[in-house]
């Protein structure tokens, strides 16, 4: 099935691309309160624990665009090594966290994000409807109503499945921005390896943050898993 090809093929898509990394500073969701916005972000291959350079830039830009909202961040817990099938670990971890937020903080707007291998983690959440290849916790259909926006960068699904999440995911496509930097070989048929490490410099973290801010401004919160949002 499609997600099998994503989780297997992510290895071939990413293995030739060296991810440049920098230390990440990550906040976690508050146990005693519900934020207005909960970002759930999966870092790229080889980045230190946290949300990575792209995630940090994206969150910084988003916070500057929604100064009236509290924004918490959850760093998806997974190895992010070159054992790319372990992306399923990240999908399982993210799924549990997202389901918990949707249940305990129903008015919180959830934002999903990921870079490179981390984008494949988000692909699993958005595309897999049944357990597949180590991903054992697909999101219930109603959780999509709590997700205000999705932002992925250098996403292998674009090349491996022939399209971005915007067209592949009925539940999440309309609320997704799926960015590929030029001829980045992870998400295109190009061969500009350096492009895979330049999502911050290219301005795409800023572009994604504006997209998400616009979604947050127009998407009403839901209060139950059965509720509907725009």
pLDDT number for residue 110? 98
Residue range 34-51: mean pLDDT, rounded? 97
What distances in angstroms separate CA 131 from CA 60, 137, 140, one per listed residue? Answer: 34, 6, 12
Catalytic residue among 145, 157, 184, 197: 184
**Residue-level pLDDT at 222:** 59
Q: State the pLDDT at residue 199.
A: 98
Do 130 and 158 form a contact (C-beta atoms < 8 A)?
no
- Catalytic residue selected from 56, 89, 123, 196: 196
DSSP 8-class letter at 57: H
Determine which one of 56, 72, 95, 116 is catalytic. 116
The fold for domain 2-12+34-218 equals Rossmann fold (3.40.50)
Q: Provide the sign of the torsion angle of the four alpha carbons 109, 6, 8, 142, taken in this order.
A: positive
What DSSP element (H or E) covers 95? helix 87-104
- Determine the pLDDT at residue 129: 86
- A 10 A CB-CB count for 145 gives 21
Is there a catalytic annotation at residue 184? yes
* Residue 116 annotated as catalytic: yes
Out of 29-38, 46-55, 116-125, 201-210, least confident range: 29-38
pLDDT band at 126 (very low <50, low <70, confident <90, very high): very high
Per the prediction, the chain carries an average pLDDT of 86
Mean pLDDT of 172-192: 96
């Amino acid at each position: 099935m499609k997600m099998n090809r994503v989780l297997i093929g992510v290895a071939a898509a990413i293995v030739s691309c060296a991810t440049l990394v920098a230390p990440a500073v990550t906040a976690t969701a508050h146990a005693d309160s519900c934020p207005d916005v909960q970002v759930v972000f999966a870092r790229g291959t080889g980045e230190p624990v946290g949300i990575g350079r792209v995630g940090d830039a994206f969150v910084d830009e988003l916070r500057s665009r929604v100064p009236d909202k509290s924004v918490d961040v959850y760093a998806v817990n997974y190895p992010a090594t070159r054992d790319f099938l372990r992306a399923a670990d990240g999908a399982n971890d993210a799924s549990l966290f997202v389901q918990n937020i949707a249940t305990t903080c129903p008015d919180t707007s959830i934002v999903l994000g990921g870079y490179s291998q981390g984008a494949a983690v988000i692909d699993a959440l958005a595309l897999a409807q049944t357990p597949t290849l180590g991903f054992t916790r697909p999101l219930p259909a109603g959780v999509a109503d709590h997700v205000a926006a999705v932002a992925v960068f250098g996403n292998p699904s674009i090349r491996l499945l022939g399209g971005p999440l915007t067209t592949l995911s009925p539940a999440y496509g309309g609320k997704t921005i799926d960015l590929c930097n030029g001829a980045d070989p992870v998400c295109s048929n190009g061969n500009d390896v350096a492009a895979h490490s330049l999502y911050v410099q290219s301005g795409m973290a800023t572009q994604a943050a504006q997209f998400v801010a616009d979604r947050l401004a127009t998407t009403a919160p839901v209060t139950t898993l059965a509720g509907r949002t725009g």
